[in-house]
Amino acid sequence: MISKPLFRIIALCSFIIGAILGVFPLIPALIGISFFLLMFGVAPFMLIYLRKLNILKSIEIEESLVIGSISGAVALLGFATIYFPIAFILQLIFKIQSFIWIKVLFVNIGFLIPMVILIALTSALLNAFSGFLTAYFYQSFQAKK
């Protein structure tokens, strides 16, 4: 099971990663890359980062699923915290057509919050899977040594 200090480290690092990834989609060419990294890349990064810092002694499959789901959900919340307000402000100031849907979401705030929660759950699921794959390959390569 994951301890409280480890949970705090995972949540804080994932939120920061999500916030950083929330800035990149403001450049339209980077939307796909940023969203792909957000959905699949946060958990492997967190597992490898925690292992390099010796916070995790080894990468176990059960822990990787939990760490992946926590990091995926929190990273998406960090992404939404940064991306949506900045995109809304850019749409109001510059009338950028690619951000017009953000204005619609902020007008219907009752739709925005459930949408973010649903996508956070999807991100948690996909990051749990990529964390599982990371742990599986890590254990496979450790067994060969």
3-state helix, strand, coil in the chain (%, to 5): 90, 0, 10
SS3 assignment, position 54: coil
pLDDT of residue 95: 77
Residue 145's pLDDT band (cuts 50, 70, 90): low
Judged by DSSP in three states, 5 sits in helix
Which pLDDT belongs to residue 104? 75
pLDDT in tens, 55-76: 988 888 999 999 999 999 999 9
Q: Where are the domains of the chain?
A: 4-144
Quick one: pLDDT at residue 57? 87
pLDDT tens string 82-122: 998 888 888 888 877 666 777 777 777 788 889 899 999 99
Nearest of 56, 79, 85, 82 to residue 127 by alpha carbon: 79
